[in-house]
Amino acid sequence: MPIVPMREMLADALKENYAVGYFESWDQCSLEAVLEAAEDSRSPVILGFGGASVNMEWFDKRGLYLLASLGRTATEDSKVPVSLMLNEVPFMEQIRRGIALGFNAVMLDTSHLPIEKNIRFTKQAVNIAHSAGADAEGECGRLPDASGSGINHAGSATDPEEAARYAEETGIDALAVSAGNVHIDMNGKNRIDTALLSKIREKVHIPLVLHGGTSIAEEDIPEVIRLGVAKFNVGTVLKEIFLTTIIELGPSADDGKVQQIVGSRKRCDMFETAKNRIKAEVMRRMILYGSTGKA
């Protein structure tokens, strides 16, 4: 199935009152897990990779090329609608390269900047994307960050008036907002400020996005979708599942069966086990977001 513009995918989600997941991958194993989950769930999905936590020397030398190659290959024979996103990269040149390498949705990480600079740099990224037929997401407000020990920065909630100006002046296709969601937080109990989200929705009419999907209390999901959230970004929980699986199964490599346990793609392969556990979590979240059966 051909790659689908993200803006079309999210417009359909808004119209039918569900949301699409962007489940961030980091390698072939995680990418396959997400795509297989989407195909088994008959769900549209946003595949992709992020630039927020990778080694930039590796990323710029060959990492972006390798990840894009994986993504393009995965989308070529997909049985469900997919978009391919390059998420939260820090440099404009990475936006240009990513689009040239096949990503059809991009996001420049500018939420830490003052609003004037945020608008200026986001607009540049939007112009680069749109001139190539790709979509661009932007973020107004800044999420708190729970990486390391405790909350590393407090973040700033999205101001509805600023969000309206930001969306209008940049021409973004989707707006990520800060309304109680937290980056890199395994809590799963953070409540979304639906009153704030409602005010944002009154001012902004493009699809809204919630990053930090792992952190969000699941009981809030139906209401935030009703208020215009058409995309959830999920990553931390997937890496946690992968890591705990490898820690659990890794020591068994001592029994001399390393060729079977690593990379055989058989049932005994610990990476296959990790992939299947990630897949199960993605499928569970597709049910939560209402995208199951929408492909």
Q: What is the pLDDT of residues 155-188, one digit of tens each?
A: 799 999 999 999 999 999 999 999 999 998 888 8
Q: How far is CA 65 from CA 58, 62, 117, 290, in A?
A: 10, 5, 29, 33
What is d(CA 81, CA 78) in angstroms, rounded to the nearest whole number?
A: 7
pTM of the model: 0.95
Q: What is the mean pLDDT of residues 12-28?
A: 98
User: What confidence tens digit (pLDDT) does each residue in 71-109 have?
Assistant: 999 999 899 999 999 999 999 999 999 999 999 999 999
User: How would you classify residue 220: left for phi > 0, otherwise alpha for psi between -120 and 50, otherwise beta?
Assistant: alpha
Q: Cα(20)–Cα(59) distance, rounded to whole angstroms?
A: 27
Q: Does residue 188 or residue 15 have the better pLDDT?
A: 15
pLDDT for res 262: 86
Distance from CA of residue 266 to its chain's centroid?
29
Average pLDDT for residues 18-45, to the nearest whole number? 98
CA–CA distance, 191 with 223 (Å, rounded to integer) = 11
For 6-240+275-289, which CATH superfamily applies? Answer: Aldolase class I (3.20.20.70)
More confident residue, 100 or 265: 100
Q: What is the mean pLDDT of the chain?
A: 94
pLDDT at 107: 98
Query: For residue 123, is pLDDT > 60?
Result: yes
The pLDDT value recorded for residue 250 is 81
What is the residue extent of each domain of the chain?
6-240+275-289
